[in-house]
Amino acid sequence: MKKILTHLLNIVLFVAIAAFAIMTAAGWEYNIKTGQIAKTSILDVTSIPQADIYLNGEKIKEETPARLRGIKPGHYYLRLERAGYHPWEQEITIQPDLMTIIPYVHLIPQNLAERQKEIPAIPETPDTSALRDKIQKVLPTVTLKQAKIAFEPSLNDFLFYDNNELWLKREKKEARLLARYQQPIDNVVFHPDFFHYFVQLENQVYFCETENPRCWELATAATDSPLIYDKSSDSLIFQQENKYYSLSLGEDKAGFLRNFF
């Protein structure tokens, strides 16, 4: 009899452990205080460069890029920090049984003046004339068909602007108004991650996010300055008076952007 009870106890213990493992893998969590089982979620955060993660002011052990499991549904205050960079912060909502993705957060260096260097000439830009006629056909209105276009050749995501309105067109999605500025737009260029862009308003150049109304002032440029993002040096190229300058936003000497993309 004792052997039978021991055997049954082992079976029950095995089933309980297996059930707990399956529930945990599926994102369920048992709260000892309340005695309730609740569904948890996943938070996926990526940034350039790597940064410390804070949720509601509490530092998480992992650094970006990180996939945080067991996050309880609810509202959180997300903050990313790295020495030498301005912090990035945003209120987020974690939905049950869903992965919340915060992609391509780009921290802005604090020492922008030190990162700006004079260069002898601007690099060659790719010829986009072959794609321009094709792209014009998908612009939403006749008025905007004369708009200027900023995009990467052969890719389906692009920006276009007319006067003070900036629009974003992504593959298989309708074009949407991204921003309406008080001043006319002088120039726009996409960042390689396609979640950020550079925009010039009069003589000020800003770095902005496509998914949030958030911009950072980067530099002063001539009103007729070209804006070019040079992937080989991870830098924005622009003009001040009769001189060309390169402004690096990537991690110093680490080549992080090249490795990331």
214 three-state secondary structure = coil
DSSP category for residue 257 = H
pLDDT band at 174 (very low <50, low <70, confident <90, very high): confident
Domains parsed from the chain with CATH numbers: 2-37 (no CATH), 40-106 (2.60.40.1120), 112-260 (2.120.10.30)
Does pLDDT of 259 surpass 50? Answer: no
Bridge partner list, 155: none
Which distant-in-sequence residues (6+ apart) come within 8 Å of 43 by Cβ? 55, 67, 68, 71, 92, 94, 99, 100, 102
Supply angle C-alpha 37, 25, 52, rounded to 5. Answer: 95
Does pLDDT of 72 surpass 70? Answer: yes
Residue 78: the pLDDT is: 95
Does pLDDT of 8 surpass 60? Answer: no
Cα 172 from Cα 259, distance rounded (Å): 28
> Token pair for residue 93?
């909502």
Does pLDDT of 130 surpass 80? Answer: no
Query: What digits encode the pLDDT tens for the residues 88-129?
Result: 999 999 988 788 999 889 999 998 988 999 888 776 665 555
Cα 204 from Cα 10, distance rounded (Å): 71
Query: What digits encode the pLDDT tens for the residues 79-98?
Result: 999 999 999 999 999 988 78
Strand ranges for 138-249 from DSSP E? 148-151, 158-162, 165-169, 176-180, 185-190, 196-201, 204-209, 215-220, 228-230, 235-240, 243-248
Q: Which helix (H) or strand (E) holds 113?
A: helix 112-115
Residue 6: the pLDDT is: 57
> Token pair for residue 162?
């007319």
Half-sphere exposure of 211 (CA within 13 A, CB side): 12
First to last CA, the chain: 65
The alpha carbon torsion through 115, 218, 258, 82 (nearest 10 deg) reads: 80
Report which residue type is found at 220. T
107 three-state secondary structure = coil
Residue 132: the pLDDT is: 56
